[in-house]
Structure 1
Amino acid sequence: MPPAACRGNPTSRSAIVADTAAGYHLLKIDGYSLTKVTPTGSCLSSSPFTVGGHRWRILYYPNGETANSADYMSVYIKLDEDHLKVQAKFQICFADHVKTQPSLKFKIVRAFTREGFTSWGYAKFFKREDFEKSNDLKEDDSFTLRCDIVVIREIRAEDSSEIVLPAETFVSVPPSDMGRQFGELLENEKGADVVFEVGGQTFAAHRCVLAARSPVFSAGLYGLMKEGDNAAGVVRIQDMEANVFKMLLRFVYTDTLPEMEEEDVMCQHLLVSADCYNLERLKLICEEKLCGYVSVGTVSNILALADRHHCNGLKKKCFNFLGDPANLSAVVAGDGFKDLSRSCPSLMEELIAMLALPPSHPK
């Protein structure tokens, strides 16, 4: 029998928490047959994309990376940066195999480093003979790869002494399903009484839902702007892409954002739209996500965006990033920083003032 001090509830608790950032990229190969002339060991590269604040590329070897894999297609994910060490999990598959958000079964964390490996992947991803007989190769001689990446940002210990062990329950109350139900209302368009025309596409919606969620929509649909096309049930929106408005509507109805391709780019567009329609929660969500994408290649654009739309947290993140001399030196050498200097001189004054301050030391 354990001593009295070892019986009963624990006196304290802690947890190891892994802070992560996830995203995915789609790479479409048009003209598969033409890529077969690529010799073994030579690859075709995707455009660079950003996940977790780091730049990546997908490498596709039509005839394998080595002689040992010459009968196969090889695919790899490559960290497209020279000076960083990044830990990440990844998964590469055909896009058609992912019907919903993947379960991310890959559990091995890989280290992408300049000194070790800058790329990881599958030397024998798919045997060409089998691939050419499969449904993954489309009739138009194309196929699409999907690469999911989870970047491990930080692993830390947290005090979890506030955790309360659950008591025995007799009734199980399901979580709220309202978001899904409103999402279905948006999808099936039942009872829709307004149509938006954006970027050549139309979207049916419900005035009362939009008005309840956004004072700007409320004024536009029920207030001073009821004249003209709006009164007839058609609202034309300029200066916004259709896919951005579609994501905006999805948030209005469900209060959530689904996973997004090119998340960093979409979040910048959504932040601007959220500010325009006074959707403060959406704006903060985008601001928080963009904090994870601040890098040498993105900080100039993100800082300008944060300044224009009064995103103080995102602005502080950019300044902290530029406070590192190595980061600042790399950024100053780029064209983006020169454009920022010309278009936002007040930001330069703030940055210079920040850099002039002596570093603080703990007492």
Structure 2
Amino acid sequence: MGEGDSRELDIVPARDARLVFQLRVRNSASKNSPHRLSRTSTAVGVAGYTCDAYRWPMMGADQISLSLMVRHKLPASHPALAGVSVAAHMVLLDRAGSPAPSVGKASAMDASDSISGGCSLRATREDVEKFCVVDDYFVLLCSVDIVTTMGGNKPSSAPAPLNEEELTDLGHGLATMLDNLDLTDVRFDVDGESFSAHRLVLAARSPVFRAELYGPMAESKMTSITIHDVKASTFRYMLHYMYHGSLPNSDEKGEDPLSAVDHQHLLVAADRYGVERLKGLCERKLCDDFTTVDTVVSMLALAEERACSKLKVRCFDFLAKGENFKMVGTTPEYLHLMQSIPSLMLQVRNRFNFNIAHPDVIMNPPSTD
């Protein structure tokens, strides 16, 4: 399989968005040559990084598989890149130019020694042609976030951090604007509720909102936007984080107002809109406070789907303790997860040194001695 004609894939920079671009794919070319690998690439606006876009060969013409791979000229394990995190996002645009997250399934890629990060998306051609193809092309909105969490002369997409007093003042000012609906200029209709917000705040927090509200898409000219596939409570918590830089505090009884399910939904929304710090916050909270016999299967599925490596390790560690695996490993939910994701079942085998002849047969858990 060689690389295809570069005209099949075309990267188009989005207006005023350094790390946001559109990937245009010629539908007929990918349909007529489903077994051919096609590739195009671009610099992502930060020194040393490039982004390669691929259309991968499929078994048939009825499926589409695309990915972004972000690379640096240095290997990912190089000390100069310590503390630099890379995240990529892809979402198909519908015929009106709006994000269509219900078409296809996107998932993040774990970093390796040769890849700093990335994202893949798989969809049925029937859905893409029904909702997304215009003039023989379908378009994906792509974003790449590169954030430095340590000092040094490393590439960074963020300015120097503010001190604690400055952050407090800024957070209080933004929260007051949100609470009083002061100068809001966009409204979101989510799951039967309306939320008013400020375009600039959302654009500063989310590369997806930045492209949606200030790019060439239809939403940039709209004052009311409908969001699908997100619960109203989840959107409210995400807005709270965007303005406060934190999630709601504990209630009067000292209990966390967000449940494990709330944090899971919020992690998915943060991943969808590229709010990486919020995604990391939710992942840490799930690891620290919400890993139980009742939640570990859903969290393991979430960790696999959203490439949350820390959460996956936490789930494996939980299952390795005491009687936990005996209680979880025979449940219908666990068996269904292992059968639906064979690669995850292989990881469980390797992690626990199981010798499972059939996925329905669960052997004894590992010794905790």
**Higher RCO (C-alpha under 8 Å, 6+ residues apart):** 1
TM-score by length of 1: 0.49
CA radius of gyration, larger in: 1
TM-score by length of 2: 0.48
